[in-house]
């Protein structure tokens, strides 16, 4: 007998208990954790009432995270890790600014490794300590274990950086409900808080990364139209410009690692002071006993960082072009990240869009608040009547390598995720029983100019003539922006797949470079693609002709064979060259001279098929 829940008339059913879910903004400079209480997103503070957690970890006698670690930056720089977000998903060989960091890096392949007092640590491990501290803060505040968390990442984080972030969260004991792009999280918080509708730009300048996203907000639907950015541009770079200015205008001697870290801290303090003041003092006592005393003015700061401000406007223009919009069509610009407080940033954005940016939400907290709203929904806490939909995009095209080193794009950049796309491919040679599948990411036409993500093989293809096999390749990108690729041979049904977890290690500017070069070299790429396609086609025809001569050469008279072999030699000579028109002409000549030969081969094939069969048996 089933038990039914019965209530008196007009008596409300008991409320479903809320599941504890949080949103986490894992930042370069500071990190935050937020949740939804009574339908309102709030940032969770520590025991001292501080909402921010400095993204700093010190490995000493014990592991210190946050403010305790921050105090040790100058006297223990080798074991105090700051700005670790900039190292996520990177290899040592790819860090063009490795000397900026005072760490003892280990020369080893793969992910960056740092020698500390307690052993070798990776950025994933360091980030997990920050996330663990936020998890413990949330569990203390909410009174129990978490059901899950939404962790934010820059929109322009590549697969390696996203995977590293997810690994760090798992290592910290978090169940990751979703990785959410930071500008999208900010748009959620802003849109739901203000009930806004229309097309908005989210200008997200954090400590280490920059993103610009264009979103359409309409009746609870958050649709990302385009995204662009720079994973190696942020507030840290402004600090470094001030640090370089200090060295230029002062006559201080050689600096120790501790002195360098101290001056970087002073540079950051001066930058933050200039947000509200016309000048900022820089006073420091170095390890040598030397005292430094300077004054940085607003005008000087604007002058030495002018190029950095300009660098943020490149992705802004790119995103607008992708969305097919101009600045006048943007209803508002939402500012995200503590670095957007700089007056020169506010001024540049206002001048570019022709309107003052929106600053009514705390730029430090807006990402965490949006992530908390998304986590609350994913945990199953959606309130009655609350109905909204999030449509995010993928930042770079995904595809695979085809013959001739060409890129065949399967999923185009700015496609809405999650997404799945299928495309059929075939074999190149007769009897081919395996296919190597090379997954790449980027906008260029040639594989050599794109980024390699993964390689795997499909084996067990039934031997057939070239072009007869049908191989269906499926690309699936989940809501976190992570990719899975599968390949299936349609006749026999053999299948293989791979979850793409790229090896850590790329240059910080690679994604931005990919997009810039895709435009700068568009014409060259198309010409190169046309040449490569002609070469592949010529190789296929040459191989087929050579095989036909070997098996059915007896159908030809000596002069005919000589003419075919001469035309075939000309095609092979031109295949390795750069003259596409000459190659195409040679292929056309080979096709013409082999036409009689092809007809005789067909006649012989028909004759063999009919031998021994009665005419009245033929349908």
Clarify whether 299 is annotated catalytic. Answer: no
pLDDT of residue 263: 92
Q: 121 pairs with which residues across the strands?
A: 114
Asked if 573 and 478 sit in the same domain, the reply is: no
* 514 is a domain residue: no
Range from 106-120, 366-380, 583-597 carrying the lowest mean pLDDT: 106-120
Q: How far apart are CA 187 and CA 335, in angstroms?
A: 10
Asked if 125 and 192 sit in the same domain, the reply is: yes
pLDDT of residue 463: 85
Given 46, 64, 85, 318, which residue is catalytic? 85
Residue 95 has pLDDT above 80, yes or no: no
Q: What is the pLDDT of residues 365-411, one digit of tens each?
A: 999 999 999 999 888 887 665 666 777 777 778 888 887 788 888 88
Asked if 445 and 407 sit in the same domain, the reply is: yes
Q: What is the pLDDT of residues 198-250, one digit of tens each?
A: 899 999 998 888 989 999 888 777 888 988 888 788 999 999 999 999 999 98
Q: Which of 471, 506, 541 is where one domain is finished?
A: 506
pLDDT of residue 7: 45
Domain interval for residue 539: 523-610
Q: What is the pLDDT of residues 21-73, one digit of tens each?
A: 999 999 999 999 999 998 889 999 999 999 999 999 999 888 899 999 998 88
Asked if 281 and 316 sit in the same domain, the reply is: no
Task: Choose among 294, 308, 302: nearest CA to 249.
Answer: 294
Given 204, 443, 480, 508, which residue is catalytic? 204
Q: Give the model's confidence band at 514: pLDDT under 50 very low, under 70 low, under 90 confident, else very high.
A: very low
Domain tally for the chain? 4
pTM for the model stands at 0.69
More confident residue, 493 or 310: 310
Asked if 428 and 531 sit in the same domain, the reply is: no
Distances from the Cα of 72 to the Cα of 76, 113, 265, angstroms: 6, 21, 11
Asked if 545 and 468 sit in the same domain, the reply is: no
* 132 is a domain residue: yes
More confident residue, 146 or 100: 146
Helix (H) or strand (E) holding 42: strand 40-43
Q: Give the model's confidence band at 612: pLDDT under 50 very low, under 70 low, under 90 confident, else very high.
A: low
3-state secondary structure 485-552: EEEEECCCCCEEEEECCCCCCCCCCHHHHHHHHHHHCHHHHHHHHHHHHHHHHHHHHHHHHHHHHHHH
Q: Give the model's confidence band at 151: pLDDT under 50 very low, under 70 low, under 90 confident, else very high.
A: very high
Q: How far apart are CA 491 and CA 544, in angstroms?
A: 24
Given 125, 159, 182, 239, which residue is catalytic? 182
Clarify whether 533 is annotated catalytic. Answer: no
pLDDT of residue 417: 80
Beta sheet of 483-489, edge-to-edge order: 419-425, 471-477, 483-489, 495-499
User: For the residues 446-460, what does the mean pLDDT come to?
Assistant: 79
Highest mean pLDDT among 450-464, 492-506, 541-555: 541-555
* Domain at 577, CATH number: 1.20.1270.10
Clarify whether 85 is annotated catalytic. Answer: yes
* 9 is a domain residue: no
Average pLDDT of the chain to the nearest whole number = 83
pLDDT of residue 10: 52
Range from 163-177, 315-329, 528-542 carrying the lowest mean pLDDT: 528-542
Q: What is the pLDDT of residues 28-40, one digit of tens each?
A: 999 999 999 988 8
Angle 194-197-198 from CA coordinates, rounded to 5°: 135
Asked if 177 and 69 sit in the same domain, the reply is: yes
Residue 2 has pLDDT above 60, yes or no: no
Coil, helix or strand for 556? coil
User: For the residues 414-431, what does the mean pLDDT come to?
Assistant: 83
Clarify whether 182 is annotated catalytic. Answer: yes
């Amino acid at each position: 007998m089933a038990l039914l829940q019965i209530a008196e008339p007009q008596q409300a059913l008991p409320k479903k208990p809320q599941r504890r879910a949080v949103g986490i903004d894992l930042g370069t400079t500071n990190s935050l954790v937020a949740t939804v209480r009574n339908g309102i997103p709030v940032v969770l503070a520590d025991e001292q009432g501080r909402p921010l957690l400095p993204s700093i970890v010190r490995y000493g006698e014990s592991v210190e995270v946050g403010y305790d670690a921050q105090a040790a930056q100058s006297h223990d720089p080798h074991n105090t890790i700051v700005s670790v977000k900039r190292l996520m998903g990177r290899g040592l060989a790819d860090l063009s600014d490795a000397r900026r960091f005072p760490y003892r890096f280990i020369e080893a392949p793969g992910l960056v490794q740092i020698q500390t007092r307690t052993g070798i640590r990776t950025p994933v491990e360091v980030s997990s300590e920050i996330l663990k501290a936020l998890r413990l803060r949330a569990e203390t505040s909410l009174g129990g274990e978490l059901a899950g968390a939404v962790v934010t990442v820059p929109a322009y984080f590549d697969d390696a950086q996203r995977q590293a972030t997810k690994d760090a969260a798992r290592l910290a004991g978090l169940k990751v409900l979703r990785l959410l792009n930071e500008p999208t999280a900010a748009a959620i918080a802003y849109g739901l808080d203000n009930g806004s509708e229309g097309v908005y730009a989210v200008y997200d300048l954090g400590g280490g990364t920059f993103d610009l996203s264009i979103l359409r907000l309409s009746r609870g639907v958050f649709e990302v139209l385009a995204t662009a950015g720079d994973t190696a541009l942020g507030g840290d770079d402004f600090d470094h410009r001030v640090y370089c200015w200090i060295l230029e205008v002062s006559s201080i001697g050689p600096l120790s690692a501790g002195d360098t870290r101290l001056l970087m801290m002073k540079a950051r303090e001066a930058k933050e002071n200039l947000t509200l003041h016309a000048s900022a003092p820089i006073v420091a006592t170095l390890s040598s006993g030397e005292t430094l005393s300077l004054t940085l003015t607003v005008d000087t700061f604007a002058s030495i960082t002018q190029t950095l401000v300009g660098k943020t406007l490149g992705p802004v223009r790119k995103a607008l072009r992708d969305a097919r919009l101009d600045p006048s069509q943007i209803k508002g610009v939402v500012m995200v990240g503590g670095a957007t407080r700089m007056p020169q940033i506010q001024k540049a954005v206002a001048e570019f869009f022709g309107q003052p940016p929106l600053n009514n939400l705390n730029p430090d907290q807006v990402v965490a608040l949006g992530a908390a709203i998304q986590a609350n929904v994913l945990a199953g806490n959606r309130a009655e009547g609350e109905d909204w939909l999030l449509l995010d995009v993928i930042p770079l095209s995904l595809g695979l390598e085809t013959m001739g080193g060409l890129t065949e794009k399967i999923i185009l950049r700015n496609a809405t995720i999650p997404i799945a796309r299928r495309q059929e491919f075939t074999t190149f040679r007769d009897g081919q029983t395996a296919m190597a599948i090379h997954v790449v990411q980027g906008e260029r036409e040639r594989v050599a100019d794109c980024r390699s993500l993964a390689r795997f093989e499909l084996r067990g293809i039934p031997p057939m003539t070239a072009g007869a096999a049908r191989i269906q390749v499926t690309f699936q990108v989940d809501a976190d922006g992570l990719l899975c690729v599968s390949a299936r041979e349609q006749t026999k049904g053999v299948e293989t797949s791979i979850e793409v977890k790229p090896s850590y290690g790329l240059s910080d500017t690679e994604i931005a470079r990919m997009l810039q070069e895709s435009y700068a070299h568009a014409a060259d790429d198309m010409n190169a693609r046309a040449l490569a396609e002609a070469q592949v086609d010529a190789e296929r025809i040459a191989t087929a002709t050579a095989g036909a001569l070997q098996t059915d050469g007896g159908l030809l008279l000596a002069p005919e064979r000589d003419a075919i072999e001469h035309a075939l030699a000309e095609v092979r000579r031109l295949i390795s060259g750069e003259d596409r028109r000459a190659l195409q002409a040679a292929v056309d000549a080979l096709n013409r001279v082999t036409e009689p030969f092809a007809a005789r081969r067909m006649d012989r094939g028909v004759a063999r098929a009919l031998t021994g069969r009665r005419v009245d048996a033929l349908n």
